[in-house]
A and B are shown apart, each in its own frame.
Chain A
Amino acid sequence: MLTPLKKLALQIRIAQLEEFKARGFGHVGGALSITDCLAALYGEIMNIDPKNPGWEDRDRLVMSKGHAGPALYATLAIKGYFPMEMLKTLNANGTHLPSHCDKNLTPGIDMTTGSLGQGASTAAGLALGLKAQKKDARVYLILGDGESQEGQVWEMALFAPQHKLNNFIAFLDNNKRQLDGYTSDICSIEPVDEKFKAFGWYTLRIDGSDPDKIVEAVNDAKANQGDKPAMIILDTVKGAGVKAIEDTKLNHHLNVGEEALGYIADLKAKLTE
């Protein structure tokens, strides 16, 4: 029996594959790997109002690995921020759904990202700005593992504990692969959990393929982070949920053709299991 969050994760995967297929290509691998986290965030964790995307007291998400925008767009459409039909305009000329997240184009996108590492700092700034105004809202940040090779991530990793940003929960989508291959072969970030612990973060490391476990981890962080920011390392698989894409070694950016219809049919079958 599927839990509501696992069902939502399947729906997000189906919607994003339809979205990618409409365009014919995209950053598929890293969008699929963060899907279970998005299901947890938008299905349960975040305090949001899709009818009022600019609500000042809402929780924020910064998708610092901005190329995973299509997964977030699928999530936002399912939540009702904009019509599902709009997903077919991904990267079309004049679209509101660009390859990388843009807060000025897409309802529900809280920060513009794309140049890797920068969302780390803007998320910390959002958290600090909300605290300065005594607001209770939380800021969630999604970093990539390849992205964490950027120095700016580690500048922020020093900054956030110093400023006691305990309204701040970050995820690291540790899908083990980047554009040119395996992260461990290119510039390893491991042991990344120990690094964040050493930097003063309340750090958890979990299986990132289960949205219910992600909710549990966030509840753990909220209860136990004290005056620290929290980092939840999500061990994931790049291309998660679609076996053929998982098995494609270099799956950062792929062409998405008719074969996607088979992937979508398989996912839809799981929905009714």
Chain B
Amino acid sequence: MFKCIYNGEKEKTAGKNAFGATIKKMVAADPKVVYLDADLMNSIGTFGLDKDYPDQIVEVGIQEANMIGVAAGMSAAGMKPVAHTFGSFAGRRVFDQAFMSVAYAKNNVVIIGSDSGINAAYNGGTHMPFEDICLYRAVPEATVIDATDSAMLASILPGLVERKGLNYVRICRKNCVAVYSEDSTFEVGKANVLRDGKDVVIIAAGYMVSESLKAAEMLAKEGIDAAVIDMWTIKPLDEAVVLEYAKKCGAVVTAENGNVVGGLGAAVAEVLGEKLPTPMSMVGVRDRFGQVGTVDFLAEQYGLTAEKVVEEVKKTIARK
């Protein structure tokens, strides 16, 4: 069960600290859990864990492709690997290794891509993954997750190492806007209805969940009753909830921190197009590259704001 605590404030715990603490708990609890990193441990809260767990913490160095292959091999040897690098590399740089050595070979690996979308901020366009969700959605049987906040990340990570195949999770290293209480629990593949409504449903993931909740509050002041769904598992998509709310509201707006090409909006559109054509709009990066800037600046640049969600909601409702 989850509890939504959204009030617009940020979490006290940075994503990287929650991640590091969770990995520490996992390796301590299970000798088969192994953590691999490609020279980014000091950026993600796992630095120094190798001193206490030398057989379970593998610093691979700057060789992401090798890291994913090693993780796949460790899975085949009976271990439960979690491999981290920045989302830009966790997607496009290792895609063939993730596809063949992990997914096709049916090895079980959790791949963590940090700095989701505009959260890459000052690392800029070279490091800004807008394409990772699209890439991993195209891998058969993969699980694709955009973690909403640190509370969710800490809750779901221990269970993911027990899942079969390729599990990709994009995360934010910084302090997210708090959406969930720390004792919340989640079920992979099951979306969370954070706010009920009848006029429109906003289906969001990751960074855009809190923006969508903010948008719903703005819309309420104008008499528009918006439902907000956190579609944190983008694959397998919770089709039942998409169809239920599309039918109930008659208008759908998706919101994601990445390219709309092949992302969450595309996943929702695929379901609606085949089963329940419904007026919809996608808030997300409209097929552009990233750039350097603050998260707020980038959100304005790419239209990843509550205001943009409100605008698209009104347009979509007008098409009913």
Contact = CB atoms under 8 A, between A and B. Distances in A.
A and B assemble together: yes
Contact of B66 (A60, A115, A127, A156): A156
B100 A115 contact: yes
B71 A125 contact: yes
A125 B104 contact: no
B74 interface: yes
A230 to B, nearest CB: 17
Interface stretch (B57-65, B220-228, B275-283): B57-65
Contacts of A60: 76
B70 interface: yes
A-B interface, 10 closest residue pairs, ranked by CB to CB distance from nearest: A125-B73, A121-B69, A129-B77, A112-B105, A155-B66, A125-B70, A155-B63, A129-B74, A122-B73, A126-B73
Interface of B: 32, 34, 55-56, 58, 60-61, 63, 65-79, 96-97, 100-101, 104-107
A151 B63 CA distance: 10
Contact of B76 (A120, A129, A135, A158): A129
Given A104-B106, A115-B100, A122-B69, A159 B60 contact: yes
6 contacts: A122-B73, A124-B73, A125-B75, A129-B78, A132-B34, A132-B55
Give the residue among B69, B73, B104 with the most A Cβ atoms within 10 A: B73
Nearest to A124: B70
Contact of B100 (A112, A125, A135, A151): A112
A129 B79 contact: yes
A103 interface: yes
Interface string A24-58: 00000000000000000000000000000000100
A120 B69 contact: yes
A179 B76 CA distance: 30
A99 interface: no
Interface in A136-184: 151-152, 155-156, 158-159, 162-163
Contacts of B71: 125
Nearest to B66: A155
Interface in A63-115: 102-104, 110-112, 114-115
Main secondary structure of the interface of A (DSSP, over half): helix
B66 A159 contact: yes
A167 to B, nearest CB: 11
Contacts of A117: 65
Contact of B73 (A104, A115, A121): A121
A98 to B, nearest CB: 11
Contact of A122 (B32, B55, B60, B76): B76
Contacts of B97: 118, 121, 152
Given A125-B72, A156-B70, 5 more contacts: A115-B96, A127-B73, A129-B76, A133-B78, A158-B61
A128 B107 CA distance: 15
B65 A155 contact: yes
Given A121-B97, A129-B79, A159 B70 contact: yes
A264 interface: no
A28 B56 CA distance: 41
Nearest to B56: A132
Contacts of B77: 125-126, 128-130, 132-133, 135
